[in-house]
Chains A and B, each alone.
Chain A
Amino acid sequence: MSGGAVAATAAEQQDIRSPHNDGGATEAKGVGTSKWTPYVLLTPGMLWLAIFFVVPTIVLLATSLYTGSLDTGYSFEFPGNWSTYSAVITYLPQFARSFVFAGLATVFCLALAYPLAYFIAFRSGRWKATLLVLVIAPFFTSFLIRTLAWKTILADDGFVVTVMNTLHITDLMSHMCLGSLCLTESDRVLNTPLAVILGLTYNFLPFMVLPLYASLDRMDPRLVEAAQDLYSSPWTALRKVTWPLSLPGVVAGTLLTFIPAAGDYINAELLGTTKVSMIGNVIQDQFFVVTDYPTASALSFVLMLAILVLVFLYVRRAGTEELV
């Protein structure tokens, strides 16, 4: 959604610029010095957001308060059918699972992406462009197909699980439990939380790598030399200079990973079972199987709010405004 807004704004910007340049009056006045220019530039994006975000959100909120069913028709009766929100209590485990899975996937993504982004930014030399293309390369295949491929990768008789079983990793992980939910079963990975988390990690990894790369690439590598010159070991230099300077990328990357991962249902659908379903699966079922639109809308709305609150707390804590 926001991608579309950016594209529209960029296109508008082109339109504004070209007449000025053709007129040759840019020297004296400069592009965008008119006080209306910012508003003109904002308009397409704002319109886009108003039509495709604000209006649907209001419709969603309204739908969640409807009474009736698909057969009898829906209607709104004041003060609205708030009982739909009781579904939030019913599906609390799925909510919790969504955030735990998404959180773990985000942590794994960060752990995998940071060294990779660091390498691409500082050490890849002439391979930089190639490596960046490789990071994006998976996008050339459908999300669905890539996720299905993990079914094969994590198959019970597949190489990965066989090795994990031999090394007793699967067994070890089957003892890592949160309540009744354990990371794996004693001899299999598919249809367990681990499979879903791995799928999420895999699918959202590029969204972590790219912002991290962008913020690390912007960093002056001489700052690391300066840190080492001032008695920092490489590890301390990483902790005290590189990491704080890459925080904007870390924040952007974790948000870009966590938010879609929390609402995802494909990975849980294809790599998990109903026992490990996430809130996305519940909403999908409510819409398309049960066709209980009000409940589905209520769950969607609560999911959105919950993510907003989490993001707000997270960004406040990360203190991004402190970073230049």
Chain B
Amino acid sequence: MSTTAGADLRIIDVTKRFGDFVAVDDLTLTIPAGSFFALLGPSGCGKTTTLRMVAGLEEPTAGSILIGDEDVTWAKPYKRPVNTVFQSYALFPHLDVYENVAFGLRRRGIKDVKKVVEDMLALTELTGLAKRKPTQLSGGQQQRVALARALINQPQVLLLDEPLGALDLKLRRQMQLELKRIQTEVGLTFVHVTHDQEEAMTMADTIAVMNAGRVEQLGAPADLYENPRTTFVANFLGQSNFFDGSITERGADGYATVDVKGNHVRLPMGRVHTEGSSVHVGVRPEKLRVQFRDGAEVREHENRLEVVVTDSSFIGVSTQYLVDTPWAQELTVFAQNTHRDERLAPGAPAIITWAPDHSFALDAAQDVEAGVEIDEDAATPDPVGVGS
């Protein structure tokens, strides 16, 4: 398999309406060649619709889509240098693995497919299954056939629509790494649609978090996680604690001070994502350090808050504490089980501390609950119908 680099995919001012419903709202994205790009969001956020417009299976209401320098907005799906790995695979049940994989090549009139197909089967570890029908394969094998069938055409952009959604957790982990390996090996542009934040963070170089047809934030996985710009991103990727406060000082030293019910919380100006003074101050549960109040060691410049422990649950790798602030707000703290303090039982007076660099401030007008508790795993479609 030669390592042909893919092409930049540019989505410019694209809007898609279904009747009154705006599925994709004036979306502009540039996906650089050779990158592994994830569109992450809850169901109905427009990520799959975006993918289908790139594939040519939906037509945008407005805007244009370019692959390289070629405008493909109105091109038929079979005339685009794009291939898709479909959700629940859509393998051809009447063809065996070999013919499924060879399908695209044959349609393009390529006669000598044997070598290419065999190489692709080897790459996706399907050698020996060539004569099987899709119904005779396990979920993971079907997934690899779907991938091989798309990859073999060396598309400039490979689209993956929730490709791992139908697999169980363990297999999903394994396939995540395998997909990443294959992407590195073939060097194509991958656009991966998922609602699974962990999957997106594991595989993608760049993630666009989508909500209600728009991109909430775009960036590298670590940037999105460490420095979210909206409550939606803060909640959808991992968990966050939020305090309401108001900015009292935008300091010359590069730090802002926020008054949270009489407590001073400091954070870098680069992590204040609003012009207003009313803010939600956010901090991730694992960034908080909880100590018994007597004899607690607090480093200089650290933010601190006196709390009372209300609950502690041992989860194995960590312990999850629930603590109450003096104004009766519940916070979550994850602590590594390196040195558990038995005194941190419910009712114990405690203090939580965290580094200023670990907080972020968002516009207080945003909904603190946005993006919380969107767990779609239960709604993930199973691969039924693939072989029927």
A-B contact count (CB 8 A): 71
Chain A: which residue is nearest B385 at the CB level?
A220
In the complex, chain B residues 58-92 whose Cβ is within 8 Å of any chain A Cβ = 76-78, 82-84, 86, 88, 90-92
Chain A: number of interface residues, binned into ranges: 20 to 34
For residue B150, give the distance in angstroms from its CB to the closest CB of chain A.
8
Chain B: which residue is nearest A222 at the CB level?
B90
* Binary CB contact string for chain A from 215 to 251 against chain B (1 if under 8 A, 0 otherwise): 0001010110111111111001000110011000000
- From B55, B82, B92, A241 is in contact (CB under 8 Å) with B92
Chain B residues contacting A228 (CB-CB under 8 Å) are 56-57, 76-78
- From A218, A230, A323, B104 is in contact (CB under 8 Å) with A230
Is there contact, CB below 8 Å, between B92 and A223? yes
Is there contact, CB below 8 Å, between A218 and B92? no
A89 within 8 Å of B by Cβ? no
In the complex, chain A residues 170-193 whose Cβ is within 8 Å of any chain B Cβ = none
Is there contact, CB below 8 Å, between A226 and B92? yes
Is there contact, CB below 8 Å, between A229 and B94? no
In the complex, chain B residues 35-62 whose Cβ is within 8 Å of any chain A Cβ = 55-57
- From A220, A222, A230, A245, B107 is in contact (CB under 8 Å) with A230
Is there contact, CB below 8 Å, between B108 and A231? yes
For residue B201, give the distance in angstroms from its CB to the closest CB of chain A.
27
A324 within 8 Å of B by Cβ? yes
Is there contact, CB below 8 Å, between A225 and B86? yes
For residue A175, give the distance in angstroms from its CB to the closest CB of chain B.
41
Chain A: which residue is nearest B155 at the CB level?
A229
B255 within 8 Å of A by Cβ? no
By CB atoms of chain A within 10 A, which of B78, B150, B153 has the most? B78
Is there contact, CB below 8 Å, between A229 and B92? no
Is there contact, CB below 8 Å, between B77 and A229? yes
Chain A residues contacting B150 (CB-CB under 8 Å) are 229-230
Is there contact, CB below 8 Å, between A230 and B94? no
Complex Cα distance, B153 from A223, in Å, reads 18
Known: A220-B385, A324-B387. A229 touches B107 (CB 8 A): no
Query: Residues of B within 8 Å of A, CB-based: how many?
Result: 29
Chain B residues contacting A226 (CB-CB under 8 Å) are 84, 86, 90-92
In the complex, chain A residues 243-261 whose Cβ is within 8 Å of any chain B Cβ = 244-245
Is there contact, CB below 8 Å, between A324 and B93? yes
Is there contact, CB below 8 Å, between B83 and A229? yes
Is there contact, CB below 8 Å, between A231 and B90? no
Is there contact, CB below 8 Å, between A225 and B57? yes
Chain B: which residue is nearest A237 at the CB level?
B78
By CB atoms of chain B within 10 A, which of A218, A222, A241 has the most? A222
Chain B residues contacting A245 (CB-CB under 8 Å) are 93-94
Chain A residues contacting B57 (CB-CB under 8 Å) are 225, 228-229
- From B93, B103, B135, B388, A230 is in contact (CB under 8 Å) with B103
Chain B residues contacting A230 (CB-CB under 8 Å) are 78, 83, 103-104, 107, 149-150, 153
Complex Cα distance, B133 from A322, in Å, reads 11
Complex Cα distance, B104 from A236, in Å, reads 12
Complex Cα distance, B89 from A225, in Å, reads 11
For residue A115, give the distance in angstroms from its CB to the closest CB of chain B.
21
Is there contact, CB below 8 Å, between A225 and B94? no
Chain B: which residue is nearest A220 at the CB level?
B385
Complex Cα distance, B78 from A232, in Å, reads 6
Is there contact, CB below 8 Å, between B93 and A229? no
Complex Cα distance, B76 from A230, in Å, reads 11
Chain B residues contacting A236 (CB-CB under 8 Å) are 78, 107
Known: A220-B385, A225-B86. A233 touches B78 (CB 8 A): yes
Is there contact, CB below 8 Å, between B92 and A231? no
Complex Cα distance, B104 from A198, in Å, reads 42
Is there contact, CB below 8 Å, between B107 and A231? yes
Is there contact, CB below 8 Å, between B90 and A220? yes
For residue B241, give the distance in angstroms from its CB to the closest CB of chain A.
42
Chain A: which residue is nearest B87 at the CB level?
A222
Chain A residues contacting B387 (CB-CB under 8 Å) are 324
Chain B residues contacting A231 (CB-CB under 8 Å) are 78, 104, 107-108, 153
Known: A229-B83, A231-B107. A324 touches B94 (CB 8 A): yes
* Binary CB contact string for chain B from 198 to 219 against chain A (1 if under 8 A, 0 otherwise): 0000000000000000000000
Chain B residues contacting A241 (CB-CB under 8 Å) are 92, 94
Chain A residues contacting B92 (CB-CB under 8 Å) are 223, 226-227, 241
Q: Which 5 A-B pairs have the closest CB atoms?
A: A230-B104, A231-B107, A226-B90, A222-B90, A228-B77
Q: A230-B149, A323-B94 are in contact. List 19 more A-B contacts (CB 8 A).
A: A223-B90, A223-B93, A228-B77, A229-B56, A229-B84, A229-B86, A230-B83, A230-B150, A230-B153, A231-B78, A231-B107, A232-B107, A233-B76, A236-B78, A241-B94, A245-B94, A324-B93, A324-B94, A324-B135
Q: Footprint of A on B, CB under 8 Å?
A: 55-57, 76-78, 82-84, 86, 88, 90-94, 103-104, 107-108, 133, 135, 149-150, 153, 385-388
- A sample of 25 inter-chain contacts (CB < 8 A) reads A220-B385, A222-B88, A223-B90, A225-B90, A226-B84, A226-B86, A226-B91, A226-B92, A227-B92, A227-B103, A228-B78, A229-B57, A229-B77, A230-B103, A230-B149, A231-B107, A232-B78, A233-B76, A236-B78, A236-B107, A240-B107, A241-B92, A323-B94, A324-B93, A324-B94
